Amino acid sequence: MNERMKELVKTVTRFDQDMDGSMEPSERGDWVQFDDLEKFAELIIQESITRITRMGILNNCEDQSIMACDELKEHFGVNE
């Protein structure tokens, strides 16, 4: 898991990163709630949409990036 993914995990779960890089239960609790996983997935999709949009602008293909983002939003049912 890369550093950005670890940051996203920390924002929505009650798990902390252990010294060896594994995710260990924190003092706040040791269960991952469905809402935590759902929010984590939404954050990943939203961040992907942001990056696709930025790439489309930089590469002069905004129309294609907008269509790709709309497809991702519809497929995963995520609203920005």
pLDDT, tens digit, for every residue of 6-64?
Answer: 777 777 766 555 555 555 555 555 556 677 788 888 889 999 999 999 998 888 888 99
With H, G, I as helix, E, B as strand and everything else as coil, classify residue 46: helix
Tokens of 34: 């469905």
With H, G, I as helix, E, B as strand and everything else as coil, classify residue 25: strand
- DSSP 8-state symbol, 15: E
Domain count, the chain: 1
Whole-prediction pTM = 0.63
Exposed / middle / buried, residue 18 (Cβ in 10 Å: 0-12, 13-18, 19+)? exposed
Tell me which residue range forms the domain holding 32: 3-76
